[in-house]
Structure 1
Amino acid sequence: MRELTPLCWQLLLLSTLVYCSLGQGGDLSLPASLSVSPDRSQFFEYESVSLSCEVQGNSAGWRVVRNSERGNLSECSTDWGKQQGSSCTVSLIPSDSGVYWCVSGSGEHSNAVNITVPAGAVILESPALPVTEGDSVTLRCRYQGTPSDLTADFYKDGSLVRTETTGEMTIPAVSKSDEGLYKCSTSEGESPERLMTLTVPASIPDPSTVPVLSVSLPRLLGSLLVVSPYLLVTVVLLLKCNRRKGSR
């Protein structure tokens, strides 16, 4: 077996570093997440909401932006909200309804949250972000006036699910079948619909088993398409180096 020359080792090391950097860059996780406090997506007029950009590491440079229902894209503190660091506090009015998310100075972005400020007096309180499969979720029907607790009918995808005299409905362990459009109705009015979606928790591998392959086919093919040219270049360089040494 021929030994590799120092030049060949340098070429091999360079190709390996390129390969590793591509592998690390293939992470599709978002660099930040937008949190909403209080944790719901529907609010009465003049209620206050705090939107925070939660970033891994330094949050400097991150800001909250929105696209209103009228299609106006703007940043917090331009004509709405008060930006403090990477957080934005908004005293809501109906025109504040829209989609909110975080962006960085380099163009990175977070998840998006849809916030609704209806003109009516009834809202449906539900988590602002997708809920985790298996968790307990409570939906509350609220009336802006008094009394605070009313008998409410809860609907999913237009069909009555149940009637609750307490004004709230609990799903003990949400599953895929619970995804859909929810709304509530009382004698005082009806809330806007709210889409509830799920996130599936990461499964814990059985230590007694050794997984052979745990990557989806599209991602595997995409990785191969990106990395294969660099692997091919590495092989060609090594062959040329060996041939050059053998001809000496």
Structure 2
Amino acid sequence: MKAAAASLLLLGVCVLLLSARNVSAVSLSVSPNLQQFFSGSSSVSLSCVDDGQTVDGWTVKMTSGGPTVDCGAAEMSGSLCVLDRNSSYSGTFWCESSSGQQSDEVSISVSEKGVILEIPALPVRPGSDVTLQCKKKTGETVPSFFFMNGRLLGSKAEHVIPNVRHSDEGLYWCASNTFGSSPQSFLRVRGSPITTLRKVICHLLVFCQYCICTILLLSICCSRSSGNKQVVSMETPLDVDEHDDTTEHYV
């Protein structure tokens, strides 16, 4: 019985490790911390980090709607990915380990438009201030209209989001009468309800799988135990007759 309990515990640990493959403390670091870039203007460095330190055994992955590739068309050195200014690297990036663990995703856009929106690529901390600017390729800030989820936020040289909250999470872009509109990018807030809900669901799935496996193994152990008892009861020794018919009797 102790061996069966140990087996159940070991199986539970294995299920937890396998099922939690998508939950990781490793994150993707982006330098500079921006989502939008002009084509041919600058290079971008991506790396896989844990608590600010680069980690080994992780690879930067990228997709632009097609197959997943390592670091796109950029140079890969360990877990560091350098996106060259001459390459087209628009797409979604994340870190992935050899065992299949994945970090959160980051979207990067390379634009040929007249303006881009300077917006953080990484999730911002709640309570911090975020400044959004509409810029030309020369680096000059352009007075523009700022939008969030299709709603006009105002016309100004820059848009400041003070004391960021989860309600500020959404799709932002800017537009200028002279230079047109920028690509759209999503501003993420750390510990947002969507991210928290996703992690809760992952842990619930892990727990449910563990419970199902445990119940199945318990039922198997119980059925084997009852089967052994039946076999033992059927193998009771035969009673020896009090009178042996083969015994000779002498008068």
TM-score after normalising by structure 2:
0.71
Which residue in 2 is equivalent to 1:178? 168
Q: Distance in 1 between matches of 2:69 and 2:17?
A: 32
Q: Structure 2 stretches of 5 or more lacking a match?
A: 194-199, 237-251
Matched, 1:36 2:30: yes
Change (3 A) 1:200 1:108: closer
Q: Is the 8 A contact 2:28 2:48 kept in 1?
A: yes
CA distance in structure 1 between the partners assigned to 2:57 and 2:6 by the alignment? 35
Supply the AA of the counterpart residue of 1:41. Answer: Q
**For the pair shown, which has the larger CA radius of gyration, 1 or 2?**
2
Cα pair distance change 1:9/1:227, threshold 3 Å: closer
Q: Of 46, 67, 77, which residue of structure 2 is paired with 1:51?
A: 46
> For residues 17-72 of structure 1, what are the alpha-carbon distances to aligned partners after superposition, in whole Å with 9 as ceiling and x for unaligned?
22333344443513632211111110122211001022589943432232236x36
* Amino acid aligned to 1:180: G
Write the mapping of 1:1-248 to structure 2, written as runs, cut at 5 A.
Answer: 8-27=1-20, 28-30=22-24, 32-46=26-40, 47-54=42-49, 59-68=55-64, 71=66, 73-76=68-71, 80-93=73-86, 95-145=88-138, 148-164=140-156, 167-186=157-176, 187-200=178-191, 219=205, 221-233=208-220
Contact 1:132 1:201 in 2 (8 A): no
Q: Is the 8 A contact 1:125 1:142 kept in 2?
A: yes
Give me the CA root mean square deviation: 3.6
Distance in 2 between the 1:151 and 1:45 partners?
22
| Kept after mapping to 2: 8 A contact 1:68/1:95 | no
Equivalenced residue count is 223
Amino acid at match of 1:16: L
- Contact 2:172–2:184 (CA under 8 A) maintained in structure 1: yes
- State how far apart, in whole Å, the 2-side matches of 1:58 and 1:243 are: 61
The 1:37/1:242 distance shift into structure 2, 3 A limit, reads: farther
Q: TM-score of the superposition, structure 1-length normalised?
A: 0.71
8 A contact 2:23–2:101 mirrored in 1: no
User: How far apart in 1 are the matches of 2:127 and 2:223?
Assistant: 52
